[in-house]
Structure formats: C-alpha cells, structure tokens
C-alpha cells in the first residue's frame, strides 16, 4: 500500500514542501507564540515524523524560540512572504509540525485537540466536546 504524499508551500510560491503519510496528531495550538506568528486565535498544526517532511523548493528561513520545556523550537518560514511552514522542537527531535494551512489540500487532516488552552484568548470559541489540554500533552 502506498503512502499519501501531500504537497504545500508558502503564499508566494518560493517555498514548497512535501509530507509523507498520515499525521501523528493534529491540533490547534493556543500558545501566545502561535497566536503572534499566525495573527489568529490558534495555529493549526499537524505533527509528522521529521523524516516525512521535505522542503522540495527554496530554502526557508528559521529562528529559534524557547519552548515550555526550556529547549528550542526552530520555526521555519518563507523569507519573502513570511508564511509559517514547519516547526522542529529540540525536545522532540523525531517530530516536526507542519502548519496545516500551508498544505495545498488538508482535507485528510482532522482536528483532534486544542493545546495550551490556558493561553487561549477570551474571545476564542473552543467546542465543548473537543479534546483540550492546558499545556502540551504527552505524545504516544
């Protein structure tokens, strides 16, 4: 059985990415960093094994931020249009996240949870039946 290959990229088209397979998890992250980066109430992100994510065109820029673990989260984005694309946490070196809206077709991804809900904006409407975590839940 062949694995799903999904493609995506930034708004201006200078960076293209490819992800293989199904996500380990998908979330809306309500941390204040994700709010600032996306300009929205939360970032929609899907987690994949790091080896399943490839940049196929261009070279994203990156910068580190300090995560709750005290370790760095490396954020990759387009240096031209600033579209956020990939996150690689040092605390979980085998996992990386893809910003779901950067995918050309994200219909195969389903939301499974809301993380860092203790940072959610007061005007955010999180569905009552959604899986919620005040911080980062354990994976696995």
Residues in the chain with pLDDT values less than 50: none
Residue 98 lies in a domain: yes
- Whether residue 14 is contained in a domain is answered as no
Number of domains into which the chain is organized: 1
Q: Does 43 reside within a domain?
A: yes
Q: How far apart are CA 121 and CA 109, in angstroms?
A: 24
- 59-69, pLDDT tens digit by residue? 999 999 987 77
DSSP H or E stretch at residue 95: strand 95-99
Strands 43-49 and 95-99: antiparallel
Tokens of 90: 């040092």
Specify the CATH number for the domain of residue 91.
Answer: 3.90.1590.10
Distance CA(56)–CA(102), nearest Å, equals: 14
Domain containing residue 68? 23-119
Does residue 79 lie in a domain region?
A: yes
Alpha-carbon distance 89 to 133, whole Å? 18
In-domain check, residue 137: no
pLDDT score at 125: 86
Instruction: Specify if 76 maps to a domain.
Output: yes
Cα gap 119→109, rounded to integer Å: 24
Q: For residue 2, what pLDDT is reported? A: 65
Residue 113 lies in a domain: yes
Looking at residue 97, its pLDDT comes to: 95
Domain assignment present for residue 60? The answer is yes
Contact assessment for residue 83 and residue 11, using Cβ atoms and an 8 Å cutoff = yes
């Amino acid at each position: 059985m062949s694995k799903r290959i999904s493609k995506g990229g930034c708004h201006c088209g200078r960076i293209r990415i490819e992800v293989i397979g199904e996500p380990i998890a998908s979330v809306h992250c309500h941390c204040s960093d994700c709010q600032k980066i996306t300009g929205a109430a939360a970032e929609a992100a899907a987690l994949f094994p790091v080896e399943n994510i490839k940049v196929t065109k261009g070279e994203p820029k990156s910068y580190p931020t300090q995560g709750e673990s005290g370790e760095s989260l490396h954020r990759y984005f387009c240096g031209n249009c600033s579209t956020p694309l990939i996150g690689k946490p040092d605390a979980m070196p085998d996992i990386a996240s893809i910003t779901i809206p950067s995918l050309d077709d994200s219909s195969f991804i389903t939301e499974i949870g809301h993380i860092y809900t203790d940072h959610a904006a007061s005007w955010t409407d999180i569905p009552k039946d959604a899986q919620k975590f005040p911080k980062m839940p354990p994976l696995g």
